[in-house]
């Protein structure tokens, strides 16, 4: 696979690899995405807008230039934006590969950062010299304005032009809580929302604070994804109930939607509305309780997004998928091509659990 290096959300030539419940592989143009949706399906996307989470600044104690990437928070509460988990980088910017960036100065509890108009204090070091808990000194309004004016979208060297916020907001973006774009949602536009409705499918959203995908540090990357807060609106919880009762498919647009729905899943795949924090990792041992199919980007082996595919496919299926993506030159990363994968056993497992919960 090659990296998609231009920030175009819906390139005309975008490809879609479709893996159905019989593990049959089909290669489609992604413009046909809506043809995958059937009457009774519920399509759920992450409506998080992407924060300009990269803050250039300095570490006055050492006199060093640094970049701070906001990477986590405790909840999605709008009044709770003073405290953040953040990753500290040394001098430089996205034009250099994260692996090649110089290390940041040594940071200790109580250190100050000056990040453009914002001032932050290191409250704690979180088990790794570059991972810190920060508290901003300013008010919520000043923090929001400071982020909006000084922050830049987190970016990696494979995308060449400097990203603007409109490059990383999906067409359905709402609350600004994602640290990196929930990029599977780039594939959707408002025409596809109308079309899926015309086909008898429904559309719903969750809000999930999608985290950073890479830090350039193997020890830190092994800790990804960090805990991610989410919100499930009442209309989405109710649409999931309706869909399950009618044996429709719950289709997640992106790994973040899978993570939210599976974190919130109760017995029999029931999902309650409200806020929560997704702490589970989804992978080969995970049994999906809610999600029947997923649209996702193409991911490279070794990443947490790639591991998540193991919940949908066995080792053989995943090897076949990786082989096809390489053979057909699918493009990877956030502006790349897509995979639609259906999970085979889900309805029977869910039916079994529902029956069991009724018996109890």
Partner 1 sequence: MLENPTNHHRNHFRGLRAAITGGTSGLGLALVRELLARGARVAFVARGRDGVERVEHGYPESYGIVGDVSKKTDIHPIAMQVMGMLGGLDVLINNASDLGPVPLAMLADTDCEELERAFATNVLGPFRLTKALLGALGSSAREGFGAVVLNISSDAAINAYPRWGAYGASKAALHHLSRIWNEELASQGIAFLSLDPGDMDTPTHAAAVPDADLASLKRPEIAAVELVDAIGNLLSFMKSERIAEEATP
The CB-of-99 to partner 1 minimum distance in angstroms stands at 30
Of 109, 139, 194, 272, the one binding partner 1 (CB under 8 A) is 194
Asked if 47 is part of the footprint of partner 1 (rule: CB under 8 A), the reply reads yes
- Per-residue contact string for residues 52-81; x = within reach of partner 1 by CB under 8 A: x-------------------------x--x
Asked if 234 is part of the footprint of partner 1 (rule: CB under 8 A), the reply reads yes
Residue pair 233/206 in contact (Cβ under 8 Å)? The answer is yes
- At residue 160, φ and ψ (nearest 5 deg) are -80, -50
Give whichever of 168 and 220 is closer to partner 1, judged by the CB atom: 168
Residues sharing a CB contact under 8 Å with residue 240, sequence separation 6 or more, in sequence order: 42, 44, 204, 250, 261, 271, 290
Q: Which stretch binds partner 1 (CB under 8 A): 11-19, 56-64, 137-145, 328-336?
A: 137-145
The CB-of-21 to partner 1 minimum distance in angstroms stands at 28
Number of residues that bind partner 1 (CB under 8 A): 35
Phi-psi region of 116 (alpha: psi -120 to 50; beta: other; left: phi over 0): left
Residue pair 88/68 in contact (Cβ under 8 Å)? The answer is yes
Asked if 51 is part of the footprint of partner 1 (rule: CB under 8 A), the reply reads yes
Give whichever of 197 and 328 is closer to partner 1, judged by the CB atom: 197
Asked if 197 is part of the footprint of partner 1 (rule: CB under 8 A), the reply reads yes
Asked if 117 is part of the footprint of partner 1 (rule: CB under 8 A), the reply reads no
Asked if 155 is part of the footprint of partner 1 (rule: CB under 8 A), the reply reads no
Distances (CA, A) of 41 to 24, 35, 132, 252: 20, 12, 42, 11
Asked if 141 is part of the footprint of partner 1 (rule: CB under 8 A), the reply reads yes
Give whichever of 257 and 308 is closer to partner 1, judged by the CB atom: 257
Beta bridge partners of 114: 58, 119
Beta bridge partners of 2: 331
Asked if 172 is part of the footprint of partner 1 (rule: CB under 8 A), the reply reads yes
Asked if 140 is part of the footprint of partner 1 (rule: CB under 8 A), the reply reads yes
CA 222 and chain centroid, separation: 16
The CB-of-52 to partner 1 minimum distance in angstroms stands at 8
Instruction: State how far the Cα of 321 lies from the Cα of 303, in Å rounded to an integer.
Output: 15
Give whichever of 84 and 312 is closer to partner 1, judged by the CB atom: 84
Q: Which stretch binds partner 1 (CB under 8 A): 92-100, 141-149, 276-284, 343-351?
A: 141-149
The CB-of-202 to partner 1 minimum distance in angstroms stands at 9
Asked if 240 is part of the footprint of partner 1 (rule: CB under 8 A), the reply reads no
Give whichever of 18 and 147 is closer to partner 1, judged by the CB atom: 147
Instruction: State how far the Cα of 261 lies from the Cα of 243, in Å rounded to an integer.
Output: 14
Q: Which stretch binds partner 1 (CB under 8 A): 129-137, 230-238, 258-266, 318-326?
A: 230-238
Instruction: State how far the Cα of 210 lies from the Cα of 257, in Å rounded to an integer.
Output: 9
Spell out the alpha helix ranges (H) of the chain: 140-150, 165-168, 190-198, 218-221, 234-245, 255-264, 304-308, 315-327, 346-359
Residue pair 122/107 in contact (Cβ under 8 Å)? The answer is yes
Asked if 164 is part of the footprint of partner 1 (rule: CB under 8 A), the reply reads yes
Distances (CA, A) of 134 to 52, 59, 60, 67, 292: 16, 13, 15, 13, 38
Tokens standing for residue 9: 């959300």
Q: By the criterion CB under 8 A, which residues form the site for partner 1? A: 47, 49, 51-52, 78, 81, 140-141, 144-145, 147-149, 164-166, 169-176, 190, 193-194, 197, 203-205, 233-236
């Amino acid at each position: 696979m090659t990296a998609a290096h231009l920030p175009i959300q819906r390139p005309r030539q975008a490809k879609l690899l479709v893996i159905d419940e019989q593990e049959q592989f089909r290669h489609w143009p992604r413009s046909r995405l809506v043809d995958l949706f059937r009457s009774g399906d519920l399509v759920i996307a992450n409506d998080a807008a992407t924060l300009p989470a990269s803050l250039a600044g300095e570490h006055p104690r050492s006199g060093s230039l640094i970049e701070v990437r906001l990477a986590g928070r405790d909840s999605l509460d709008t009044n709770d934006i003073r405290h953040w988990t953040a990753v500290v980088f040394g001098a430089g910017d996205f034009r250099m590969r994260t692996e090649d960036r110089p290390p940041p100065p040594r940071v200790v509890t109580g250190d100050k950062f000056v990040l453009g108009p914002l001032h932050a204090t290191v409250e704690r070091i979180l088990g790794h010299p570059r991972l810190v808990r920060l508290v901003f000194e300013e008010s919520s309004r000043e923090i929001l304005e400071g982020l909006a004016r000084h922050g830049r979208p987190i970016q990696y060297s494979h995308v060449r032009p400097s990203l603007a916020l409109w490059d990383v907001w999906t067409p359905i973006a709402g609350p600004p809580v994602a640290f990196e774009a929930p990029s599977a949602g780039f594939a959707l536009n408002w025409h596809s929302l109308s079309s899926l409705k015309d086909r008898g499918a429904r559309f719903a959203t969750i809000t999930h604070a999608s985290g950073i995908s890479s830090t350039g540090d193997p020890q830190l990357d092994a800790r990804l994804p960090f805990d991610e807060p989410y919100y499930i609106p009442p209309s989405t919880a109710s649409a999931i109930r309706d869909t399950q009762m009618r044996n429709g498919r719950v289709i997640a647009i992106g790994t973040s939607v899978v993570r939210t729905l599976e974190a919130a899943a109760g017995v029999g795949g029931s999902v309650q509305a409200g806020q929560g924090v997704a702490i589970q990792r989804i992978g080969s041992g995970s049994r999906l309780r809610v999600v029947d199919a997923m649209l996702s980007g193409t991911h490279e082996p070794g990443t947490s997004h790639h591991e998540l595919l193991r919940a949908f496919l066995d080792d053989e299926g995943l090897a076949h998928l990786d082989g096809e993506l390489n053979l057909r030159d699918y493009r990877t990363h956030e502006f790349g091509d897509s995979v639609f994968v259906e999970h085979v056993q889900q309805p029977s497992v869910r039916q079994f659990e529902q029956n069991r919960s009724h018996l109890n």
